Every structure is written in C-alpha cells, then in structure tokens.
Structure 1
Amino acid sequence: MNSQHQSGRTVIEGTTRRDFCQLSAKAMAAVAAPTVIAASALGRGAKVAPSERITIGLIGIGRQARAYNLPWFLKSPQTQVVALCDVDSWRLKNAAETVRKQTGTVATHADFRSLLDDKSIDAVMISTPDHWHVPMSIAALRKGKDVCCEKPITKSIAEGRRLVQEVEKYKRIFRVDSEARFKTSFCKAAEVVRNGRLGKLVSMEVGVPIDNAKCGSPATMPVPKELNYEMWQGPAATAPYTVNRVHPHHAYSRPGWMRVQDYDDGMITNWGAHLIDIAHWGANLERTGPVQIQGTGVFPKSELWNVLQQFKIDYQYANGVKLTVKPVKGHYTRFVGEDGWVEAGFSQVRASSPEVLQVPLGKDRIRLPRTDEKQDFVNCVKSRGRPIADAEVGHRTNSIGLLGVIAVKTGQPLRW
C-alpha cells in the first residue's frame, strides 16, 4: 500500500520552512534558567539516581497542559518542573506564574530548541498541536531527553514509524500520554477478553464522540501580539491567521486547530487514540495492525474545520477479528465474542451477562498493568523499562485512524 497521509511537512532532517521561518530574536529569547543538576548526571549510565527528582521541561502550555499535565508534574514529589516553553507569551507567562508560586523559579522559552539545549533537563512533556508532536519528540530524543507526548502522537504513518526508530536508536523512554489504560473500566474489559470470558473474539467496535461543528470560512485576522504564528505553524503548510484556526485569544477553551486537517485529524484520532488503544490492548493486537481497511465518510467542503465527519470505517486483522470505528452519542469500546460481549467507557463497564465480568482469580489469570500514565513515565525514566504505552503502541493505535482517513479519501478498499 503506497498511499501516505500527509497534512504538512515533517521537520526532522535538518531544518525546513525557512529554518522555521527564520525565527525572530524574540522567539529565540529565554529568561535566565535556574541552576539545576540533571538527575541523570547523578546516576550511573542512563539510569536516574532513585533519590533525585527528575527535571521536567514542558513544551506547550495550552488547555491540556494547564488543566492536567503541569499540575501533575508540579504535585509529584519525584519530579521538578524547571522549564516551560510556548509560542504564546500570554500562556507562557501564566504558566510561569503558577510554577513560581510553588517552586520559586522556572526558566521560560519561546523556542523549544533552546529548552532542549538545556542539559539540566532530563525529560520533556510535549502538549502542542499534533503536527508538532513528532518533530519535537525526535529533536528531544536526539538531545538525550526522555519524552512524554500527548496523544495522538503522529500526523502520518511514515512519521510514526520514524519516531519508533528514533526511540530505539537513541535508547530513550517515550510514553504516549493517554490515561485510558489507567481507568478501571477499560482495564476490566480488556482483562475479560484476555482471560477468555467471551470465548473466541469475533469483532470489536469503537464509538468516538460525534463532532460535526462548522465555522465556515472565517476572514483573515491580525495575528495577536503575544503569538508567534510563524513558529506555531512550523512544519504545516503556510496559512493566513484566523482565531478559529489556532486557539482562543486569552482563553483556554477548545481550540479550533483540533478540527483542521493541517494540524489534526479529528475525532477518529483524538478519541480514537484512547478507544482504539483499548481495543488493541484487549485483543492483544497492540503491536500489529489490520490487513484490510474500507470506509465511508464526509470531509466538509469550503470549511476551515475540515476533518473527517460522519464516518464508518471497517478493519480486518490477520487473525480474522474485525473492528469498526464510527461516531456515536457518547463513547465506548466493545468486544464481541462467541460467548458474549463486554463494553467499556471511561467510567463504566457492562456485559452481556454478570458472569462475563467474573474474571477467574487463579494464578493463571492474565493481569494487565494499571498505572497512571505520567507515573508510568516517571517509573520508566528511573528504571529504563518499557512504558505500558510506548512509541510502537502509540504508532500502531494512531495508524488505525490515519488508515481510515486514507480509505475515505481514496474511496477504495486498502490492503495493508
């Protein structure tokens, strides 16, 4: 299968897009950094000294980072937030004030590359728009940093494979920042399947939330003074600024970029990154992929918000198991076997009968690992072990959504 889904250019080898648009002196500036000794420098080899906190730099301080990622790393006694980066100076200032109230000092950067040059930083949390995930992750790996990256981790299948190769080459830790495997309901459903309570697995169904929002074709607007829009676009195609393309001005509500193909692929990858991952986990298919894909869907025309909508994608795996992904009211991952079914969402699990949920407690029971996603990352930074959801798992999960997009765009069945 030769088709590749490319919404923009991936900046990996060298530098493109006029060296990231020949960043201004302002974008390259960083305030004085605190004096910090990296935990890795205090351990042996690649291991982190257990008694030392892991130094963290956060790249991207928008809605997700402010609500979840930054608070977690600030609260953990095992980590120290020492650096922040964002191309929106208003957001960067707000995050810096939050950190300084707790720790007294933090370095701020307008360019992620200056943050990565800081040898005192052990690991980074990347919470940017999706089109920046792989370029930033690879740059961090090459600088010797471990990486925790928001999902979905990739914008194309090719860059996902490249990311996996780079993680292996530089022997760093990479963790997909999805909390789904930590949820009791999802873990229960996956263990039901793994322990044979459904009999032979026949099919799976993933229902992602419906999002048919429209915004028309808004007029070009002046770029807000606090935003380095050239850097925000980065490896994506050049496009005129309008607020619905980027994120709200002086606010943290849902950003428009999540509905624009240049930066994101919509619900099939946004929520698919959670729910398809659980399907793969339960079916023990997390390190493989489908062999056949076909589907239908709608891409809005003459709309800024142009990600895939109203779709139904069918996949078949080499073992005969089938998967369907579609928008629904609510969300779920469902497994159907010859002897029953089980379905889970973020807060509930239900089954064809109560007996299905009664997983045997014997010594041969398959127990799946269940650890908070960021704690799993921290644990692996210390132990150098493999995360529960590593780069390969994230790449395989996101490839399902991207293959669905390709199938709809080509209008033809795919063999993979």
Structure 2
Amino acid sequence: MNRRQFLQHSALAASAVPALGFPTLVPASVFGKNAPSNRVTVGLIGTGRQGYGQNLQGADLKAIVARIPGLLDLADVQVTAVCDVDSWRMDKAKTTIEAHYAKKAPNGTYKGCSTHRDFREVIARKDIDAVMISTPDFWHVPMGILAAKAKKPISCEKPLSMSVHQGRALVDALKKYGVVNRTDSEFRSIRPQNLAVELVRNGRIGTLQKIEIVFPSDPTPVPPQVDMPVPKELDYEMWLGPMPYVPYTDMRVHTPFDILKRPNWMRVDTYAQGMIANWGAHYFDMAQWANNSEYSGPIEIEGKGEFPKSLWNSMINFSVKYRYANGVEMTCQQTPTSKPSIRYTGSEGWILVEGYPGSISASNPALLGSKPSGDELDLSKTLWDKTDFVEAVKTGRKTLEPIEVGHRTISISQIGLIACQIGEKLTWNPEKELFTGNNAANALLTAPLARKEWIV
C-alpha cells in the first residue's frame, strides 16, 4: 500500500467521525515497521506575504496563545514543493523550508523542496497529497477547481472568489469529486472570537438581535501609475493568468523584494474586492456562525460606498445593512479612521470583540466566564486552521470551515458590494443565490474571466 492509498483507506475508515470531532491520529507503529508514513505532503501554491508568512511559518499571538502554527510547525506535514510566479519569493520560501527540515535531519542537510512556476505541475504530482492555495484572490477558483478534478485536498486562502457564481462553481466541483477542503482562516480558532460565538449561540445575551461590524481603514488610493519594465524575477503573463493584459506597474502587483508589505493587488477591483471582502471573510464568517446561518445568508441588503477613480479603485468608506429572515440586523462600515471590531447585541446584553487577535468585553463581565453545559456549543478546544485541515486530510472528516462556508461568507461581501454599486435596496434569495426582481444586480453575480483557457 502506498501513502496515497493509505490516506484514502484512512479516510474511509474514519468517515463516521463527527464534523467537530478531534480524532486521535493512528500511530505508524500500528501497521508494523513497513507501514506507510503518516506524514502528509503539501504543495504550497503562492509564497507571498500570507503564503510565506502565516501559512508556512505561523504567527506569534502571545496575547492568546504562544503561536498560530504554520505548516512547518506540524510534525505530520512535509512541504515538498513551492510555486510562485515571482522567483525571488519562491526561492526564499524554498530556502526557509529546507533550512527548517535540515535542522531535524541526522546529517544536518535537506534538499527535498522543488520549485515550480506553473501551479498545474504541483497539482499533477502524484507524490503531493494536498495543496495550500495562497495566491491573489482572482486565482483561487481556477486553481481550486483544477485541484478538485485531480482529487487533491485543498486549503484555500480567503476571500475565496471574485463572484457568487465563481464561488458556487468551486463548491460544486469539490462536492462532485469528493475532495477534502477548507477555507483557510484562523479566526474560528482565536479564542476571543470563537468565545463570543459560543456565548451568543448558547443564549448568554438572550435572543440575538443585531450584529455591528467595523472594518479597518484603507490607505489613500494611489493615482494612475506609469508603465514599468517587468522585473526579471516575475512571470507577469502567468501572474495575470485569466485577467486582461495591462502594462506592468508594481502598484498593481506587489512591491519587488518585499515579502512583508501588504500586496498592492488587494486594492485593485480586477484582482480583489477591497476591505469588505478581505476583512469580511473574517467578520462575516463570525457573524454567520453566531447567527447559525453559515449555510445560508441575509434576505435584504442596502448600502453605499465610495469608488475611487484611481489604480487602487476598490470600494472604501462604505456602510452596508443586511437583514436576515430571523429578524437579525447586521451592519458593516468602514471610515478613514476605523479600527476592526464586531459587536453582538441580544435581548439581554451585548458582547464586543475589538482588534486583532481580539480583546473581548461584555455588558455583564460575568458572561465571559460562563461555561457550556449539556449539549451547548463548546469551542474551547477548536483546532488551529492548518492542524484542522491536515487531520481532515488524514481521516476524511469534514473540516471546521469547509469551502461551502467560506463561499457563503464571501457571498455576503459580494452582495453588499453589489448593493453599493446599484444604489438600491436589494432582496436576496440565499437558497437560489439570486436577487429577486433586479436583473442589473443579478448580472453582477458573475465575474467573467477574459482569457478563456483559464475557465475550468
């Protein structure tokens, strides 16, 4: 039995594991000295700020935990391939990976991480068990669908898609091919964030009535930029992929030789959808979870926002209001000086989580020490995102945040953006994922890909 057969066999054996269970890994010794390795091999697609930083190496959040583990922190993971269109970033990731594993090797050396410019090479490799997609947002769906067709488990960065229809296509592909999947986001594992959800779901503030979200401010939009020569380390054609060709400028892509700076593409609406999507992928997820509507959505939306006439043209300074069928009202806003927070108000009190990773407060501080009892929701032992994904790959169980949930989350960002673009109150059918009686709004549910070869 080779390792992939072993993993598939393990998945079948563990198919009855509950979605929120935390199964014990079966030690290799059970199978004898010739047992296949329990280690999951991972290909990292995208080695920029998020891929190289948190996804590969983890992050220190000493206020709540020693660190958020990255892939290199997991003893049952081997990162065997990295892929990026920027060779400087890719080589930096390779060097970091090999140096990490060399420290654990008996002879102090390790040279087992390959590099790839084309993500399809990583997906096609038989010796890679799963892929971590950490690319710009517009690449998530094409890569995710091709991985699903190859039956490769995926963990995909948020925001998952550029449109509601794109996101649904990814969900359908993963279901069709039966692929383990996870929306890569750490918020569900951060205790102040999931404690608030736990308390709301367990009725500690009475009946939930209102959710108020504030997103952090954006930097000042940049004016139109002059065309620049493409850096020799960047395969710009491959970076553009499905999007129309435009001349290169680093303010459209990312700052060369700087892996820590937030990428510039996040503020260009061709490649991402701004702060309502970037932070919405976190806070709308928490709101949906607290409202027990993570596989559904609101029924009414209205909003307004500013659309800069510049290279950085993603919506800023917005205010959007949503209403759910159960009567819960959710608002979100961004101003030039705003800081992130989420506030849950119920019939008997409120809970507020401010900042990142988050400090929690409540109308009655005693609420924060309340413990679940009986069948109440207990999120105190929630696994971190990478650990949750790897254990799901090994057992076949459902992850804590499947792509379906991430799709529903980012759909809220997308329909809020559309409401601001249309300038009217819209009625939303979350089952059909369509607006009622508004063809102009429905036309915006699809984000066309200009280069047909990337439509999968």
Common fold by TM > 0.5: yes
How far residue 343 of structure 1 moved from its aligned partner, in angstroms, is: 1.0
Q: Quick check: 1:293 aligned with 2:301?
A: yes
Question: Is the alpha carbon distance of 1:211 and 1:38 closer, same or farther for their aligned partners in structure 2, counting shifts above 3 Å?
Answer: farther
State the match for 2:376 in structure 1.
Answer: 365
Whole-Å separation in 1 of the counterparts to 2:6 and 2:390: 16
1:340 touches 1:351 (CA, 8 Å); kept in 2? yes
How far residue 311 of structure 1 moved from its aligned partner, in angstroms, is: 0.3
Amino acid in the other structure paired with 1:357: L
Q: 1:313 aligns with which of 303, 315, 320?
A: 320
1:134 touches 1:160 (CA, 8 Å); kept in 2? yes
State the match for 1:324 in structure 2.
Answer: 331
How far residue 44 of structure 1 moved from its aligned partner, in angstroms, is: 4.7
State the match for 2:424 in structure 1.
Answer: 412
Amino acid in the other structure paired with 2:339: G
TM-score normalised to structure 1 length = 0.88
For 1:37-186, what aligned pairs fall within 5 Å after superposition? 39-45=3-9, 47=11, 50=26, 51=28, 52-71=38-57, 72-103=70-101, 104=110, 105-186=112-193
Alignment partner of 1:244: what SS?
coil
Amino acid in the other structure paired with 2:46: G
Whole-Å separation in 2 of the counterparts to 1:113 and 1:339: 53
Q: Percent identity?
A: 43
Alignment partner of 2:171: what SS?
helix
Amino acid in the other structure paired with 2:341: Y
2:11 touches 2:397 (CA, 8 Å); kept in 1? no
Could you tell me which runs of 5 or more consecutive residues in structure 2 were left unpaired when the two chains were aligned: 13-24, 29-37, 58-69, 102-109, 429-456
State the match for 1:333 in structure 2.
Answer: 342
Whole-Å separation in 1 of the counterparts to 2:165 and 2:318: 23
State the match for 2:392 in structure 1.
Answer: 380
Whole-Å separation in 2 of the counterparts to 1:194 and 1:44: 35
Q: 2:223 aligns with which of 204, 216, 219?
A: 216
Amino acid in the other structure paired with 1:86: D
1:38 touches 1:119 (CA, 8 Å); kept in 2? no
Q: Deviations over 1:258-279 (max 9, x none)?
A: 1000111111110111111111
Q: Deviations over 1:302-327 (max 9, x none)?
A: x0000010100000111111110111
How far residue 347 of structure 1 moved from its aligned partner, in angstroms, is: 2.4
Alignment partner of 1:245: what SS?
coil
Q: Quick check: 1:194 aligned with 2:201?
A: yes
Amino acid in the other structure paired with 2:398: R
Alignment partner of 1:209: what SS?
coil
How far residue 341 of structure 1 moved from its aligned partner, in angstroms, is: 0.7
Q: Quick check: 1:255 aligned with 2:255?
A: no
How far residue 200 of structure 1 moved from its aligned partner, in angstroms, is: 1.1
- Which region of structure 1 is more displaced relative to structure 2, 344-353 or 155-164? 344-353
Whole-Å separation in 2 of the counterparts to 1:258 and 1:156: 15
Whole-Å separation in 2 of the counterparts to 1:227 and 1:361: 52
Could you tell me which runs of 5 or more consecutive residues in structure 1 were left unpaired when the two chains were aligned: 1-36
Whole-Å separation in 1 of the counterparts to 2:8 and 2:143: 27
1:133 touches 1:153 (CA, 8 Å); kept in 2? yes
Alignment partner of 2:334: what SS?
strand
Question: Is the alpha carbon distance of 1:197 and 1:98 closer, same or farther for their aligned partners in structure 2, counting shifts above 3 Å?
Answer: same
Question: Is the alpha carbon distance of 1:145 and 1:372 closer, same or farther for their aligned partners in structure 2, counting shifts above 3 Å?
Answer: same
How far residue 212 of structure 1 moved from its aligned partner, in angstroms, is: 4.1
Q: Deviations over 1:197-232 (max 9, x none)?
A: 111111101111011422100101011111111110
Whole-Å separation in 2 of the counterparts to 1:101 and 1:192: 43
How far residue 176 of structure 1 moved from its aligned partner, in angstroms, is: 0.8
Question: Is the alpha carbon distance of 1:38 and 1:342 closer, same or farther for their aligned partners in structure 2, counting shifts above 3 Å?
Answer: farther
Amino acid in the other structure paired with 1:74: L
Question: Is the alpha carbon distance of 1:57 and 1:147 closer, same or farther for their aligned partners in structure 2, counting shifts above 3 Å?
Answer: same
Alignment partner of 1:47: what SS?
helix
Alignment partner of 2:11: what SS?
coil
Alignment partner of 2:345: what SS?
strand
How far residue 64 of structure 1 moved from its aligned partner, in angstroms, is: 0.9
1:237 touches 1:262 (CA, 8 Å); kept in 2? no
2:7 touches 2:393 (CA, 8 Å); kept in 1? no
- Which region of structure 1 is more displaced relative to structure 2, 325-334 or 240-249? 325-334
TM-score normalised to structure 2 length = 0.80
How far residue 286 of structure 1 moved from its aligned partner, in angstroms, is: 0.8
State the match for 1:243 in structure 2.
Answer: 250
Whole-Å separation in 2 of the counterparts to 1:65 and 1:73: 10
Whole-Å separation in 2 of the counterparts to 1:40 and 1:205: 45
Whole-Å separation in 2 of the counterparts to 1:322 and 1:156: 23
How far residue 116 of structure 1 moved from its aligned partner, in angstroms, is: 1.1
How big is the alpha-carbon RMSD for the aligned residues of Structure 1 and Structure 2? 1.6
Q: 1:351 aligns with which of 362, 365, 370?
A: 362
How far residue 38 of structure 1 moved from its aligned partner, in angstroms, is: 6.8
Q: Deviations over 1:359-393 (max 9, x none)?
A: 34432332136110110101111111111110111
How far residue 287 of structure 1 moved from its aligned partner, in angstroms, is: 0.8
